[in-house]
């Protein structure tokens, strides 16, 4: 996954933990207001910045299509069922399209994009090992927890193989004609059993390498933060501040608590 | 090792009246073990499966989880201190290559143990380089561990243990899951490591021939969990030969009491029961592993499918078995096999496949679907909608035949490796398929299970069942290789068709 993602300018130099922090800084203010303008401003700036970092339209579609598809769907539900307000254009039973619901639909669509796109694009190329190093060394999360989780991520690839083999074996055992739901349910249970066994084997292997002892641990890879990290946080804060400021100035600011 | 100023010397191991009992069991797997291993001594530890050999190794490495795994008694000392007390004194390599890779990149994986021991960064990377060199893994530090072969993964695990500079190196059936070239790789790496470090060495393995030249002492455990024999390899193997053979140990040079199928020559004129024409195979659409294969399985014969790793043997077998769709060409069953159905097995219903082609998977755990051994064997009769009486009669028959009747109520996942293999075969046999396809049926099996399995398969072929086995096992091929399909590496384009099928 990591190796197939294209390199991005600037973003790749930032510690994964900082990227996580920047995402929180950028999107939290956007979650506090429901108006189309703040989200639109943020989205516009984000698109320009990511384009500068090397995200081509093709890459954007390839890597974020689930978000590009789900945003309008979220908007559509608002269009039909959002709080009615102003002129009504069309109605059918509970569904009503009004001035208010149109505005809400636009606001929600743009907001999902403004929050979802940076979440996907900032983590295009995150190496789990690097993220774990950052979480343990920079964010000072407990090493045991972080490394345990990191070890587990490597098992995911094995589970994919297990799942495939189990699917074939169901057919070989004469129970492949059952409905999909029933088959998936029995396979999910079997996978769970396998996962626990693989997990305990991995735990033994990790323990055999001294994991979980009381000795203070060293880190073979240094996780550092520097100028690029500060810059990304500053950019995230600036984008958030600017988009909220524009909304307040234009009078569209509509906090969720109002 | 050069430049290893902080390296610890080889350690002394001492067991006094040591015993181990698995959680929830009444019987002590090991008991009253008195054993002294001098620093630098190299020991091969033998014993029947379930005799607690692995438990002893795990205890020496200090990885016995705690009271939920079992309890020990007596004392087990490393250089006079309780085993497991000092991390990093013992390095352990386990059987399953896939389960010991911890991190995504080769260098990081080897460094993991050093980090846990608190080794300074510069020294860690120096040790990583030395360890990789010692095991002969000449790869970039950022090489993905997922791209390694089984033998390379085991060498990686060895390097990871080695980087901790252990005075005691423990190997728990390190080559059981490897093909012959992987076995050779790992053995050579271990020999080099021992020459460089002089570490005390204990290896558990029932394939004696792999290690016998490398060790200077053999310790054998009996099925009662006590010491059976202890001494120089030749002496122990000679004097206790019968007991070791009975315990399932592969004593070098012991002839296998089973002969090649007598009518192998006579079956050459047999009709093809299953053919692949211009077959392209792969696990997924667009991922062709091999193309242009023309193969035929002769009815009533046993065919072995051999070839190097990654060449597509298992994929071809699964495709012939009607489990994977051919990515090109077609698989066709003979009219008697297909019966009223279309010739392509992949288009048959799962239930129709049962009585025609049975497949035994390499990993028994992948094919278990029930919570007891008995229910596992009853899956096929149930799918075939046999009457209750007929179904249980058949289930009882195969359970007895494969000596699983005493385990009927056990959960398949709790069985030993040999028992799991027998169950995976029983679950297929119960449907009485006319063709049976097996993927590495003898991997990691002790001699007793091996003999039992090969005898059974021979009987089936003698009774008219058609067999196809993917295998690296030369002895298996000796007995059951009526026909041979040798799949060669695909970059050798001129020889992309398997040889031997036309003979």
Tally of domains within chain A: 2
Residue environment code for B162-176, b if the CB has 16+ CB neighbours within 10 A, otherwise e: bbbbbbbbbbbbbbb
Task: Judge whether residue B492 has pLDDT over 60.
Answer: no
Helix/strand number for chain B, H first, E second: 17, 18
Of the ranges A1-5, B153-157, B350-354, which one carries the lowest mean pLDDT score?
Answer: A1-5
Task: Judge whether residue B404 has pLDDT over 50.
Answer: yes
Across all residues in chain A, what is the average pLDDT?
89
- Chain B residues with CB under 8 Å of A194 CB are 365
- Measured in angstroms, the CA of A138 and the nearest CA of chain B are apart by 17
Instruction: Let me know whether A25 and A91 are in one domain.
Output: yes
Give me the residues of B, 101-160, that contact A with CB < 8 A. Answer: 101-105, 107-108, 111-121, 124-125, 128, 144-146, 157, 160
- Over the Cα atoms of chain B, what is R_g? 24
Please return the burial class of B387, using the count of CB atoms within 10 Å of its CB with bins 0-12, 13-18 and 19+.
exposed
pLDDT digits (tens, 9 = 90+) for B277-322: 999 999 888 888 888 999 999 999 999 999 887 788 999 999 999 9
Q: Could you give the ipTM of this predicted complex? A: 0.84
Query: B302: which strand partners?
Result: B467
Task: Judge whether residue A1 has pLDDT over 70.
Answer: no
pLDDT digits (tens, 9 = 90+) for A150-190: 988 888 888 988 999 999 999 999 888 777 888 888 888 88
Helix/strand number for chain A, H first, E second: 8, 2
> What's the CA dihedral at A21, A24, A29, A34 to 10 degrees?
160
**Distance (Å, whole) CA B91 – CA B83:** 12
The pLDDT assigned to B91 comes to 92
Of the ranges B15-19, B52-56, B288-292, which one carries the lowest mean pLDDT score?
Answer: B52-56
The pLDDT assigned to B449 comes to 86
Task: Judge whether residue B8 has pLDDT over 70.
Answer: no
**Distance (Å, whole) CA B361 – CA B437:** 9
- Measured in angstroms, the CA of A136 and the nearest CA of chain B are apart by 13
Q: Please count the CA atoms within 13 angstroms of the CA of A50 that sit on its side-chain side.
A: 25
| Global confidence as pTM | 0.85
Mean local confidence (pLDDT), A83-107: 86
CB contact under 8 Å between B365 and A219, yes or no, is no
CB contact under 8 Å between A204 and B118, yes or no, is no
pLDDT digits (tens, 9 = 90+) for A40-55: 999 999 999 999 999 9
The pLDDT assigned to B502 comes to 34
Task: Judge whether residue B123 has pLDDT over 50.
Answer: yes
- Measured in angstroms, the CA of B249 and the nearest CA of chain A are apart by 25
Mean local confidence (pLDDT), B347-359: 94
Left (φ > 0), alpha (ψ -120 to 50) or beta: where does B310 sit?
left
Would you call B372 helix, strand, or coil by DSSP? coil
**pLDDT confidence bin for B264, thresholds 50/70/90:** low
Query: B423 and B364 in contact (C-beta within 8 Å)?
Result: yes
CB contact under 8 Å between A208 and B318, yes or no, is no
When scoring B116, B161, B346 by the number of chain A Cβ atoms within 10 A, the one with the most, hence best to mutate, is B116
Distances (CA, A) of A176 to B321, B349, B351, B369: 14, 8, 8, 12
Which residue's structure tokens are 């190093």?
A133
The pLDDT assigned to B66 comes to 62
**pLDDT confidence bin for B65, thresholds 50/70/90:** low
**pLDDT confidence bin for A2, thresholds 50/70/90:** very low
* Domain boundaries of chain B, sorted by first residue: 39-64+87-246, 262-495
**Distance (Å, whole) CA A91 – CA A20:** 43
With a pLDDT cut of 70, the percent of chain B lying above it is 93
DSSP state of B495: G
DSSP state of A8: -
- A215 lies in some domain: no
CB contact under 8 Å between A208 and B94, yes or no, is yes
Instruction: Let me know whether A111 and A150 are in one domain.
Output: no
Residue environment code for A100-137, b if the CB has 16+ CB neighbours within 10 A, otherwise e: bbbbbbbbbbbbbbbbbbbeebbbbbbebbbbbbbbbb
Beta strands across the sheet bearing B328-333: B290-298, B272-281, B328-333
Instruction: Assign domain B39-64+87-246 to its CATH architecture.
Output: 3-Layer(aba) Sandwich (3.40)
The answer to whether A169 contacts chain B (CB < 8 Å) is yes
Query: B317 and B437 in contact (C-beta within 8 Å)?
Result: yes
The pLDDT assigned to A4 comes to 63
**Distance (Å, whole) CA A105 – CA A101:** 6
Residue environment code for B399-434, b if the CB has 16+ CB neighbours within 10 A, otherwise e: bebbebeebeebebeebebbbbbbbbbbbbbbbbbb
The pLDDT assigned to B396 comes to 93
Query: A235: which strand partners?
Result: none
**Closest partner residue to A175 among B62, B105, B369, by Cβ?**
B369
- A69 lies in some domain: yes
Instruction: Let me know whether A19 and A90 are in one domain.
Output: yes
- A53 lies in some domain: yes
Task: Judge whether residue A84 has pLDDT over 60.
Answer: yes
Distances (CA, A) of A6 to A11, A121, B216, B421: 12, 11, 54, 45
Helix (H) or strand (E) holding B43: strand B42-46
Instruction: Let me know whether A19 and A117 are in one domain.
Output: yes
Residue of B nearest to A162 (CA): B366
Helices (H), B147-204: 150-162, 180-197
Instruction: Let me know whether A119 and A232 are in one domain.
Output: yes
Phi and psi (nearest 5°) for B90?
A: -120, 135
**pLDDT confidence bin for B177, thresholds 50/70/90:** confident
- Chain A residues with CB under 8 Å of B65 CB are 203-204, 207
The pLDDT assigned to B490 comes to 61
- Please state at what angle helix B373-383 crosses helix B388-401, rounded to 10 degrees: 130
Token code pair at residue B19: 């015993």
**Distance (Å, whole) CA B40 – CA B484:** 45
The pLDDT assigned to B501 comes to 39
Instruction: Let me know whether A78 and A164 are in one domain.
Output: no
Instruction: Let me know whether A149 and A57 are in one domain.
Output: no
Instruction: Let me know whether A39 and A101 are in one domain.
Output: yes
Q: Do B39-64+87-246 and B262-495 show the same overall fold?
A: yes
- Chain A residues with CB under 8 Å of B105 CB are 129
Per-residue HEC secondary structure of A47-89 comes to HHHHHHHCCCHHHHHHHHHHHHHHHHHHHHHHHHHCCCCCCEE
Task: Judge whether residue A207 has pLDDT over 60.
Answer: yes
Assigned CATH topology for domain B262-495: Rossmann fold (3.40.50)
Residue environment code for B348-363, b if the CB has 16+ CB neighbours within 10 A, otherwise e: bebbbbbbbbbbbbbb
Instruction: Let me know whether A28 and A57 are in one domain.
Output: yes
**Distance (Å, whole) CA A67 – CA B191:** 55
CB contact under 8 Å between B100 and A162, yes or no, is no
Mean local confidence (pLDDT), B69-88: 83
- A158 lies in some domain: yes
**Distance (Å, whole) CA B228 – CA B424:** 32
Of the ranges A76-80, A223-227, B25-29, B190-194, which one carries the lowest mean pLDDT score?
Answer: B25-29
Of the ranges A205-219, B64-78, B373-387, which one carries the lowest mean pLDDT score?
Answer: B64-78
Comparing CA positions, the residue from A125, A122, A109 lying closest to residue A43 is A109
- A73 lies in some domain: yes
- A134 lies in some domain: no
Instruction: Let me know whether A17 and A121 are in one domain.
Output: yes
Instruction: Let me know whether A195 and A230 are in one domain.
Output: no
> Between A and B, how many CB-CB pairs are < 8 A?
163
- Please state at what angle helix B373-383 crosses helix B417-429, rounded to 10 degrees: 20
Domain that residue A67 falls in: 11-127+226-250
Comparing CA positions, the residue from B92, B86, B87, B80 lying closest to residue B39 is B80
Give me the residues of B, 56-95, that contact A with CB < 8 A. Answer: 58, 61-63, 65, 87-88, 91-92, 94
- Chain B residues with CB under 8 Å of A154 CB are 101-104, 145-146
With a pLDDT cut of 90, the percent of chain B lying above it is 58
Give me the residues of A, 21-50, that contact B with CB < 8 A. Answer: none
Across all residues in chain B, what is the average pLDDT?
87
**Closest partner residue to A205 among B100, B108, B324, by Cβ?**
B100
Comparing CA positions, the residue from B300, B305, B341, B298 lying closest to residue B322 is B341
**Distance (Å, whole) CA A88 – CA A101:** 9
**Distance (Å, whole) CA B274 – CA B279:** 12
Task: Judge whether residue A37 has pLDDT over 80.
Answer: yes
**Closest partner residue to A220 among B94, B115, B427, by Cβ?**
B115
pLDDT digits (tens, 9 = 90+) for B471-483: 988 899 999 998 9
Mean local confidence (pLDDT), A231-251: 94
């Amino acid at each position: 996954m990591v190796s197939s993602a294209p390199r991005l300018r600037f973003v790749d130099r930032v510690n994964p933990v900082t990227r996580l922090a920047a995402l929180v800084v950028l999107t939290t203010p956007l979650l506090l207001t429901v108006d189309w303008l703040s989200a639109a401003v943020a989205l516009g700036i984000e698109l320009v910045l990511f384009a500068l970092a090397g995200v081509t339209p093709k890459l954007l579609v390839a890597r974020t299509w689930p978000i590009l598809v789900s945003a309008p769907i979220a908007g559509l539900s608002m269009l039909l069922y959002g709080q009615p307000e102003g002129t009504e254009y069309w109605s059918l039973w509970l569904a009503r399209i009004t001035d208010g619901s149109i505005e809400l639909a636009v606001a929600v669509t743009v907001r999902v994009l403004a929050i979802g796109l940076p979440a996907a694009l900032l983590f295009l190329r995150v190496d789990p090992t690097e993220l774990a190093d950052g979480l343990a060394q920079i964010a000072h999360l407990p090493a045991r927890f972080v490394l345990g989780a990191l070890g587990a991520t490597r098992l995911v690839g094995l589970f994919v193989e297990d799942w495939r083999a189990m699917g074939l074996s169901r057919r070989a055992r004469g129970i492949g004609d059952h409905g999909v739901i029933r088959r998936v349910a029995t396979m999910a249970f079997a996978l769970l059993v396998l996962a626990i066994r693989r997990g305990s084997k991995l735990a033994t292997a990790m323990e055999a390498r001294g994991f979980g002892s009381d000795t203070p641990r060293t880190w073979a890879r240094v996780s550092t933060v520097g100028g690029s990290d500060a810059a990304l946080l500053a950019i995230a804060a600036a984008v958030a501040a600017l988009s909220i400021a524009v909304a307040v100035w234009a009078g569209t600011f509509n906090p969720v608590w109002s | 090792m050069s430049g290893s100023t902080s390296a610890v010397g080889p350690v002394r191991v001492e067991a006094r009246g040591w015993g181990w009992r698995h959680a929830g069991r009444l019987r002590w797997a090991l008991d009253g073990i008195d054993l002294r291993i001098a620093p630098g001594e190299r020991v091969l530890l033998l014993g029947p499966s379930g005799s607690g050999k692995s438990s002893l190794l795990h205890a020496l490495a200090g990885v016995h989880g705690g009271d939920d795994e079992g309890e020990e008694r007596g004392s087990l000392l490393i250089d006079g201190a309780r085993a497991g007390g000092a991390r990093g004194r013992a390095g352990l390599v386990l059987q399953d290559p896939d389960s010991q890779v911890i991190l995504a990149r080769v260098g990081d994986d080897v460094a993991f143990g050093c980090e846990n021991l608190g080794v300074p960064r510069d020294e860690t990377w120096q040790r990583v380089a030395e360890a990789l060199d010692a095991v002969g893994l000449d790869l970039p530090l950022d090489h993905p561990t997922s791209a390694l072969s089984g033998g390379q993964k085991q060498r990686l695990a060895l390097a990871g243990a080695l980087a901790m500079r252990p005075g005691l190196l423990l190997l728990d059936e390190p080559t059981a899951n490897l093909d012959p070239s992987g076995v050779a790789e790992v053995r050579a790496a271990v020999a080099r490591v021992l020459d460089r470090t002089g570490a005390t060495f204990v290896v558990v393995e029932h394939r004696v021939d792999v290690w016998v030249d490398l060790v200077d002492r053999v310790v054998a455990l009996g099925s009662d969990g006590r010491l059976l024999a202890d001494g120089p390899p030749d002496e122990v193997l000679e004097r206790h030969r019968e007991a070791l053979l009975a315990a399932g140990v592969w004593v070098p040079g012991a002839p296998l009491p089973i002969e090649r199928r007598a009518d192998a020559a006579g079956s050459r004129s047999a009709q093809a029961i299953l053919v692949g024409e211009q077959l392209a195979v792969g696990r997924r659409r667009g991922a062709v592993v091999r193309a242009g294969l023309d193969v035929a399985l002769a009815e009533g014969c046993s065919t072995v499918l051999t070839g190097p790793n990654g060449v597509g043997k298992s994929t071809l077998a699964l495709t012939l078995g009607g489990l994977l769709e051919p990515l090109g060409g077609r698989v066709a069953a003979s009219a008697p096999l297909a019966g009223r159905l279309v010739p392509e097995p992949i288009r048959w219903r799962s239930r129709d496949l049962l009585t025609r082609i049975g497949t035994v998977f390499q990993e028994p755990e992948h094919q278990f679907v029930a919570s007891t051994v008995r229910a596992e064997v009853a899956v096929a009769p149930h799918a075939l909608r046999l009457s209750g009486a007929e179904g249980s009669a058949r289930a009882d028959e195969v359970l007895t035949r494969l000596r699983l009747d005493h385990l009927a109520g056990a959960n398949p996942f709790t069985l030993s490796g040999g028992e799991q293999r027998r169950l995976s075969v029983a679950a297929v046999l119960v449907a009485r398929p006319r063709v049976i396809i097996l993927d590495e049926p003898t991997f990691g099996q002790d001699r007793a299970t091996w003999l039992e399995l090969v005898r059974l398969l021979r009987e089936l072929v003698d009774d008219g069942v058609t067999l196809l086995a993917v295998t690296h096992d030369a002895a298996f091929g000796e007995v059951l290789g009526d026909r041979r399909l040798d799949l060669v590496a695909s970059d050798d384009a001129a020889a992309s068709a398997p040889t031997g099928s036309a003979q």
